[in-house]
């Protein structure tokens, strides 16, 4: 069998036939035409830019393109001026980003014109939740690309090749920073052998304009330093961090800084010693400041208390506004709970006016079907970034409150929790690649539409060279029969997922099985209430939803006026967030005239139908897609369709026990019973233990 495999591989190589496994992402090789690229300056980064243009040029044959480093006060760091004849930038990295922009426009049919293009955020980074043993927390695409185990720190040629491919992919969408390890950080990450491997990664990323960062454990001075305390005000602790930071910069001169999860979900932090988050963050910031390093301090902090979990990060950090050093950035999840399919934006955005705040988005789909469901997150992030905070009047969107255009701050930053692993296609699902792409594009330009991003990704990722049917006329049939329907499917996919999982503002009603599958009933004895779904849906005989008005937890008061009043008024609160902010009776009348119960039934049913339609859309694309990727996506959609039906049946049958109302007869009857669903859930939980 092994001999046959080798012979088959040799045949495929000799004939030039390769299976399309998605490894090349949106950077699939294309035939190019000759181009002359010149630049007076030389550097590894500029060499990459020149080679990319030469290897991928789709423009006029024999054209001369000039790359030039200039002084220009209108250009931000990493920004560039684009024209038909060249690229100008103030940095080498700016020239590289300009090269990728020029090629992207050629590949997608967009116009190349004289234009100044600046990034909206100057720090655009991925957070990898990779552990040193090679596992990935909330990773659904295989093991870590950086770590293989504490006893496997030697760097191989395969590592170097993979890291270079990773760096190129990030640079192509403007990502310029990477946190190499999990926010639930092992203290061992700061030991010398691990730092030397981090140096090897940094050396591969540097030519592509990418800085390396590390997540660190606050108790490191005790655990690996031998000190008796990690108190941030203790002189010995400060000295230990100063020495450790110096060691890091001796290895990695352009090291970016630290990401810290402290006093959250059991992680140690300054509060262990009676100190504040500001005390802890500022101590690290002082150690990093001589090297222009930064501290990204996560605001994902909550306690097992009777206080509404949605309020706790705001209550924890707002009193500290103005107490952080200017190289400290507070990293805030997009919503106040935890990367739910739909959340309102966290009220910390815009409220902290004296402290730099950066959004944290989750690219890996922990709560959205992981690597099984097709969910394009560009629409979700567009909704979030364009949300109006009203902190400085109309136009104070989340994006403008964090990009430096409203508040005077030294840095502007945005982070995405990566969905990358050792799977051949990097992301576990071919369409999950679109979310990596979308994050980079929106981090660079938060005004870009998710529709444009989806169309770009489709045209870059698929194309005439992958057609099964070679008789297709690409410019006519491809756009009408492939690009448009697939784009529409992507743009609808997040709303479809909300419909079949948690419509109308329902949230966090997942099974105990790794946040996958429905579990609105899950509440084992002794479990923290805020870790159980009933805490969030509050279903009873009177109705459903979490009352966050003044009559309830009053979480609404953390939002600025007039938004707070709007959310408080059940008649004007967006129906998409209705049950996030209100506990309403089952017979509450919706704007379309249906009762709340009937509307829930229709939303769940609509989600199932939407996914079934996705299956039909994809089935009709077979002649436009290589067999490998077509079959892989088809298989995933089949599983997603079955999951959507399970979500619908589980939630409606469970909530029906409280509503005592019938499912409208024009809708499809449940295919499962409650007993079947509970048994399946118990089996999943046992299998995950």
pLDDT tens for each residue of 476-499: 788 899 999 999 999 999 999 999
Instruction: Yes or no: say if 636 and 588 are a contact pair by the CB < 8 Å rule.
Output: no
Residues 327 and 345 in one domain: yes
Which pair of tokens denotes residue 41?
A: 């300056």
Measured from the Cβ of residue 473, the count of other Cβ atoms closer than 10 Å reads 8
Which member of 159, 338, 388, 477 is catalytic?
A: 338
Torsions phi, psi for 83 (to 5 deg): -145, 170
3-state DSSP of 85-114: CEEEECCHHHHHHHHHHHHHHHHHCCCCCC
Residues 316 and 396 in one domain: yes
Residue 484 annotated among the catalytic residues of the structure: no
- Domain-embedded: residue 304: yes
Closest by CA position to 335, among listed 542, 139, 577: 577
Which member of 243, 265, 540, 668 is catalytic?
A: 265
Confidence at 530, pLDDT banded by 50, 70, 90: very high
- Domain-embedded: residue 683: yes
Instruction: Yes or no: say if 126 and 416 are a contact pair by the CB < 8 Å rule.
Output: yes
Q: How many domains does the chain have?
A: 3
Residues 192 and 317 in one domain: yes
Residues 72 and 214 in one domain: no
Percentage of the chain modeled with pLDDT above 70: 96
Residues 99 and 139 in one domain: no
Task: Name the domain boundary from 53, 84, 117.
Answer: 117
Q: What are the residues facing 216 on neighbouring strands?
A: 260
Tell me the CATH number at 393. Answer: 3.20.20.80
Confidence at 4, pLDDT banded by 50, 70, 90: very low
Omega of the bond prior to 562 within 30 degrees of 0, cis?
A: yes
Q: What is the pLDDT of residue 17?
A: 36
Residues 603 and 631 in one domain: yes
pLDDT digits (tens, 9 = 90+) for 533-547: 999 999 999 999 999
H/E stretch holding 258 reads strand 257-260
Task: Name the domain boundary from 389, 421, 451.
Answer: 451
Examine the pLDDT at 576 and tell me if it is beyond 50: yes
pLDDT digits (tens, 9 = 90+) for 193-235: 999 999 999 999 999 999 999 999 999 999 999 999 999 999 9
Which pair of tokens denotes residue 497?
A: 């997922």
Per DSSP, 188 falls in state G
Instruction: Yes or no: say if 279 and 233 are a contact pair by the CB < 8 Å rule.
Output: yes
pLDDT digits (tens, 9 = 90+) for 395-406: 999 999 999 999
- Domain-embedded: residue 66: yes
pLDDT digits (tens, 9 = 90+) for 98-117: 999 999 999 999 999 999 99
pTM of the entire predicted model: 0.96
Residue 93: give the domain boundaries: 31-117
Rounded Cα gap, residues 539 and 537, in angstroms? 5
Rounded Cα gap, residues 504 and 524, in angstroms? 26
Burial class (CB in 10 A: 0-12, 13-18, 19+), 626: middle
Helix or strand or coil: residue 119? Answer: coil
Examine the pLDDT at 385 and tell me if it is beyond 70: yes
Instruction: Yes or no: say if 21 and 50 are a contact pair by the CB < 8 Å rule.
Output: no
H helix runs in 431-546, sequence order:
433-444, 450-461, 484-501, 533-537
Least confident span in 15-19, 541-545, 572-576: 15-19
- Domain-embedded: residue 25: no
CA 471 centroid distance within chain: 38
Residue 159 annotated among the catalytic residues of the structure: no
Which member of 130, 366, 382, 456 is catalytic?
A: 366
Measured from the Cβ of residue 192, the count of other Cβ atoms closer than 10 Å reads 8
Q: What is the pLDDT of residue 469?
A: 67
- Domain-embedded: residue 473: no
Examine the pLDDT at 13 and tell me if it is beyond 50: no
Closest by CA position to 302, among listed 647, 15, 677, 555: 555
H helix runs in 16-91, sequence order:
44-56
Residue 222 annotated among the catalytic residues of the structure: no
Examine the pLDDT at 465 and tell me if it is beyond 70: no
- Domain-embedded: residue 9: no
Closest by CA position to 183, among listed 221, 222, 225, 213: 213
Instruction: Please compute the mean of the pLDDT values over residues 296-320 and round it to a whole number.
Output: 96
Rounded Cα gap, residues 164 and 408, in angstroms? 36
Confidence at 11, pLDDT banded by 50, 70, 90: very low
Cβ partners under 8 Å of residue 593, min gap 6: none
Helix or strand or coil: residue 659? Answer: helix
Task: Name the domain boundary from 117, 146, 166.
Answer: 117
Instruction: Please compute the mean of the pLDDT values over residues 295-307 and round it to a whole number.
Output: 94
Examine the pLDDT at 15 and tell me if it is beyond 50: no
Instruction: Please compute the mean of the pLDDT values over residues 348-354 and round it to a whole number.
Output: 97
Residues 131 and 58 in one domain: no
Residues 380 and 276 in one domain: yes
Instruction: Yes or no: say if 195 and 247 are a contact pair by the CB < 8 Å rule.
Output: yes
- Domain-embedded: residue 329: yes
Per-residue b or e along 111-135, where b marks 16 or more CB atoms closer than 10 Å to that residue's CB: ebeeeebbbbbbbbbbbbbbbbebe
């Amino acid at each position: 069998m092994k001999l046959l495999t080798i012979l088959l591989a040799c045949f495929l190589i000799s004939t030039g036939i390769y299976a399309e496994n998605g490894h090349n992402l949106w950077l699939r090789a294309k035939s190019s035409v000759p181009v002359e690229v010149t630049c007076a300056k030389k550097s590894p980064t500029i060499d990459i830019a020149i080679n990319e243009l030469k290897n991928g040029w789709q423009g006029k044959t024999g054209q001369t393109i000039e790359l030039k480093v200039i002084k220009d006060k209108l250009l931000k760091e990493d920004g560039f001026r684009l024209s038909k004849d060249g690229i100008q930038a103030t940095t080498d990295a700016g020239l590289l980003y300009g090269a990728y922009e020029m090629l992207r426009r050629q590949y997608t049919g967009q116009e190349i014109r004289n234009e100044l293009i600046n990034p909206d955020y100057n720090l655009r980074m991925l957070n990898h939740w990779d552990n040193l043993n090679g596992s990935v927390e909330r990773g659904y695409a295989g093991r870590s690309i950086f770590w293989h185990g504490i006893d496997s720190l030697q760097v191989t040629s395969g590592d170097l090749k993979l890291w270079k491919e990773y760096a190129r992919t990030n640079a192509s969408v403007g990502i310029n920073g990477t946190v190499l390890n999990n926010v639930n950080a092992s203290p061992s990450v700061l030991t010398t052998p691990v730092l030397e491997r981090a140096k090897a990664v940094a050396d591969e990323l540097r030519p592509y304009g990418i800085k390396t960062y590390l997540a660190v454990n606050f108790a490191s001075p005790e655990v690996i330093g031998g000190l008796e305390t990690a108190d941030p005000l203790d002189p010995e602790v400060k000295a230990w961090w100063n020495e450790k930071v110096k060691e890091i910069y001796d290895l990695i001169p352009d090291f970016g800084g630290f990401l810290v999860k402290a006093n959250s979900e059991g992680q140690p932090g300054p509060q262990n010693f009676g100190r504040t988050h500001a005390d802890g963050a500022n101590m690290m910031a002082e150690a990093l400041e001589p090297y222009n390093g930064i501290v990204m301090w996560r605001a994902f902090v909550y306690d097992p208390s009777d206080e509404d979990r949605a309020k706790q990060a705001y209550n924890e950090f707002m009193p500290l506004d103005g107490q952080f050093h200017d190289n400290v950035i507070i990293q805030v999840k997009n919503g106040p709970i935890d990367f739910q399919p739909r959340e309102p934006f966290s009220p910390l955005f815009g409220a902290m006016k004296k402290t730099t705040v950066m959004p944290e988005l989750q690219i890996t789909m922990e709560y959205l079907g992981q690597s099984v469901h097709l969910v394009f997150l560009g629409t979700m992030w567009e909704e979030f970034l364009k949300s109006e905070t009203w902190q400085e009047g109309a136009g104070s969107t989340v994006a403008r409150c964090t990009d430096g255009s409203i508040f005077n701050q030294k840095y502007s930053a945005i982070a995405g929790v990566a969905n990358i692993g050792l799977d051949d296609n990097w992301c576990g699902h071919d369409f999950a690649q679109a979310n990596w792409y979308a994050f980079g594009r929106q981090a660079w330009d938060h005004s870009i539409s998710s529709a444009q991003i989806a169309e770009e990704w489709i045209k870059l990722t698929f194309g005439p060279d992958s057609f099964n049917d070679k008789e297709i006329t690409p410019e006519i049939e491809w756009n009408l029969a492939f690009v448009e329907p697939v784009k529409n499917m992507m743009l609808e996919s997040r709303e479809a997922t909300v419909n079949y999982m948690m419509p109308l503002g329902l949230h966090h009603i997942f099974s105990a099985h790794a946040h996958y599958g429905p579990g609105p009933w899950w509440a084992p004895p002794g479990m923290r209430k805020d870790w159980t779904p009933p805490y969030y849906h509050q279903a009873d005989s009177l109705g459903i939803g979490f009352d966050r008005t003044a009559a309830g937890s009053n979480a609404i008061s953390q939002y600025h006026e007039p938004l707070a009043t709007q959310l408080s008024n059940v008649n004007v609160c967006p129906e998409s967030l209705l049950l996030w902010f209100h506990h309403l009776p089952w017979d509450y009348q919706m704007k379309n005239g249906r009762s709340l119960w009937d509307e829930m039934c229709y939303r769940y049913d609509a989600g199932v139908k939407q996914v079934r339609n996705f299956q039909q859309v994809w089935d009709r694309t077979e002649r436009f897609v290589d067999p490998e990727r077509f079959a892989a996506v088809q298989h995933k959609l089949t599983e997603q369709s079955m999951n959507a039906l399970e979500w619908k049946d589980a939630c409606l049958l469970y909530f029906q026990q409280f509503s005592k109302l019938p499912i409208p007869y024009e809708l499809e009857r449940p295919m499962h019973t409650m007993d079947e669903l509970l048994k399946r859930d118990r089996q999943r939980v046992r299998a995950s233990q």
